[in-house]
Amino acid sequence: VVSSAGVVVVGNEILSGKVQDLNGPFLTRELRACGVRLGRVAVLPDEVAEIAFEVGRMTGQFDHVITTGGIGATHDDVTLQGVADAFGLPLEPHAELVQMFVERTGEPPAGAAERLTLLPAGAELIRTGRPAYPLVRVRNVFIFPGVPRFLQQKFELLRPLLQGEPFHLRRLFLSVDEGRVADLLERLDRRFSNVDVGSYPKFDPGVDHAVEVTLESRNPEAADQVLAELEAELQADWIVRKE
Amino acid sequence: VVSSAGVVVVGNEILSGKVQDLNGPFLTRELRACGVRLGRVAVLPDEVAEIAFEVGRMTGQFDHVITTGGIGATHDDVTLQGVADAFGLPLEPHAELVQMFVERTGEPPAGAAERLTLLPAGAELIRTGRPAYPLVRVRNVFIFPGVPRFLQQKFELLRPLLQGEPFHLRRLFLSVDEGRVADLLERLDRRFSNVDVGSYPKFDPGVDHAVEVTLESRNPEAADQVLAELEAELQADWIVRKE
């Protein structure tokens, strides 16, 4: 069972504000829907050492690592080198990619095209016919393109490999200040290590509650039990509604 | 002159997809407009050790560090502890915050309210009258709330302290495949270390170009020189337009 993942978003164009990242939000939603806990997102520049450091940390912390962006034919595409360095692997021509290129163009890759056939040694290609260019896997790292449309297509190749247990969310909306329930929430959070208790104050005029309490767990009974205990301990008129 | 910053976004609610992060994109835009290079964005869970590790790395890598979220009265608000641990500082009641609380409520803070007065030792408060609650600074780390409206108000307290040199951007839109210009772009990127050369292929139907080349520098003459060399070396009919 896959339970956790980290995401590395690569690109100077993101950090400089020229392009807004759509891949982080997409992967956040989809991983959650697959029952996979997202442990960290790092948005990094096109720098080999930064990518190698972050991938190196995440590969040991999480079941899966997903990178987006920084693959292509130009000098600013350094994600594959970063992943290779994270594992101390060389970049080398991948026989299947070279063959694909030859079949498509009738000649061996040279110059910038050759870059597109270089992968960390031992990289595995994942494909199911479409999209034509495969998804690249190096150990527990899945290397995705930065173009959102292509990333989203390729994510369907990864989805069958992600089999987390789904999360169950209960929400309670309260009329009182967060400070009034802080001690109670802390006690419950400590007692139930398998339930993640969140508390989010709301300040916008027109919102019908002062704080939203979230209870989230892979175990739906545990989430329901904490919800029941919370309701029992709170004054009834503090509870605006629950979901 | 401030030249670089890192951003730490804290919150399980972001990583679990319950709330979409608006603060990262806001800070990305505003830092760029101030002429500050954003070196990295990390989206982290409500875990002290993760926050301490990331703040500890960023404080040495960048001129400024900005954290958002994870400050408040409940158990899941651990950003201040993370920042304290990054510097090996204790959390302790801050005299001015205690005084503010007493003036507002007529009694000393206790229980959850006391949490709100604890800051890393030596923390500095920055304010200009409004908003009422000050911006907290610990060395080169600025600690912002997670609520976007409050973060945006408080950013105006930081803006006068951010005095980077502005970036100058030139863009060239080409009709040819990225691979045809990759070697040329790499040569120019190497020759001009003060110009950041980017290359972004476009695949969407209806777009009038196949690749966008960006030239960005704090030195506008350098950006113009690379643009001129690029135009001189490219076939004239490859250039769709420039901006």
Q: Which of B4, B12, B13, B16 to mutate to test the interface with A (most CBs of A within 10 A)?
A: B16
Question: What is the 3-class SS of chain A, one letter each residue?
Answer: CCCEEEEEEECHHHHCCCCCCCHHHHHHHHHHHCCCEEEEEEEECCCHHHHHHHHHHHHHHCCEEEEECCCCCCCCCCHHHHHHHHHCCCEEECHHHHHHHHHHHCCCCCCHHHHCCEEECCCEEECCCCCCCCEEEECCEEEECCCHHHHHHHHHHHHHHCCCCCCEEEEEEECCCHHHHHHHHHHHHHHCCCCEEEEEECCCCCCCCCEEEEEEECCHHHHHHHHHHHHHHCCHHHEEEEC
What integer pLDDT is reported at residue A92 of this predicted model? 96
Whether the per-residue pLDDT at A152 is higher than 70: the answer is yes
Handedness of CA A208, A210, A214, A215 (dihedral sign): negative
Average pLDDT over residues A63-83: 94
pLDDT digits (tens, 9 = 90+) for A92-109: 999 999 998 898 889 999
What integer pLDDT is reported at residue B161 of this predicted model? 87
pLDDT digits (tens, 9 = 90+) for A154-186: 999 999 888 778 899 999 999 998 888 999 999
Whose structure tokens read 């009038």? B208
What integer pLDDT is reported at residue A110 of this predicted model? 87
- Check whether the bond before B131 is cis (ω within 30° of 0): yes
Confidence of residue B238 (pLDDT cuts 50, 70, 90): very high
Helix (H) / strand (E) element for B15: namely helix B12-15
Average pLDDT over residues A44-51: 98
Q: Give the CA angle between residues B181, B168, B239 to the nearest 5°.
A: 30
pLDDT digits (tens, 9 = 90+) for B27-54: 999 999 999 999 999 999 999 999 999 9
Angle between helices B79-87 and B48-61 (to 10 degrees): 50
Lowest mean pLDDT across A110-114, A128-132, B209-213: A128-132
What integer pLDDT is reported at residue B130 of this predicted model? 58
Lowest mean pLDDT across A83-97, B45-59, B128-142, B199-213: B128-142
DSSP secondary structure letter of residue B110:
-
Tell me the percentage of chain B whose pLDDT exceeds 90.
79
Q: Do B44 and A43 touch (CB under 8 A)?
A: no
What integer pLDDT is reported at residue B84 of this predicted model? 98
Q: Do A199 and B74 touch (CB under 8 A)?
A: yes
What integer pLDDT is reported at residue B66 of this predicted model? 98
Candidate from A17, A181, A216 with C-beta closest to B29? A17
What integer pLDDT is reported at residue A132 of this predicted model? 66
Q: If you measure CA to CA, which chain A residue comes closest to B171?
A: A18
Q: Do A74 and B169 touch (CB under 8 A)?
A: no
Whether the per-residue pLDDT at B132 is higher than 70: the answer is no
What integer pLDDT is reported at residue A101 of this predicted model? 87
DSSP secondary structure letter of residue B26:
H
Q: Do A179 and B73 touch (CB under 8 A)?
A: yes
- B-chain CB neighbours of A200 within 8 Å are 13, 19
Mean pLDDT of chain B, nearest integer: 92
Are the C-beta atoms of residues B73 and B106 closer than 8 Å to each other? no
